């Protein structure tokens, strides 16, 4: 079982930056992909970024493309999400996920989840 611990959330002004971290422990050998998902009150969970562990390829929705960067430090088993030019619509609880099931879109299917870290962007 993979265990995830997130950190780095906080409150910033519009245009500010944050870097989220996700420390992974346990058996990570079967991880197919990892991702950052976010959920705001009254909205469905959405994938903000994902990374495939086999080749390092990444994916971003159009809403964050060019502003967010997902990366992984394999030596530290830490996943990062660099968020720049933050906007109020980025306000959400951000969750780290590790998925073992094969999935073209790294949807979070049967994934292990972190506890979440809050990101708040004020106008």
Q: How confident is the model at residue 1 (pLDDT cuts 50, 70, 90)?
A: confident
Q: What are the pLDDT digits (tens) for 40-66? A: 999 999 999 999 999 999 999 999 999
Q: What is the mean pLDDT of the chain?
A: 96
- pLDDT at residue 41, rounded to an integer: 94
Task: Please name the residues in contact with 50: beta carbons below 8 A apart, sequence gap of 6 or more.
Answer: 33, 34, 35, 36, 58, 59, 70, 105, 106
């Amino acid at each position: 079982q993979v265990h995830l611990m997130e950190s780095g959330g906080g409150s910033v002004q519009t245009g500010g930056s944050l870097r989220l971290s996700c420390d992974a422990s346990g058996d990570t050998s079967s991880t197919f992909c990892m991702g950052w998902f976010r959920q705001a009150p009254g909205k469905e969970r959405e994938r903000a970024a994902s990374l495939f562990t086999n080749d390092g390829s990444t994916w971003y929705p159009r809403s964050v493309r060019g502003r967010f960067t997902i990366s992984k430090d394999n030596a530290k088993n830490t996943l990062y999400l660099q968020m720049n030019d933050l906007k109020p619509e980025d306000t959400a609880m951000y969750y780290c996920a590790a998925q073992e099931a094969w999935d073209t879109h790294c949807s979070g299917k049967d994934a292990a989840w972190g506890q979440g870290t809050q990101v708040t962007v004020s106008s």
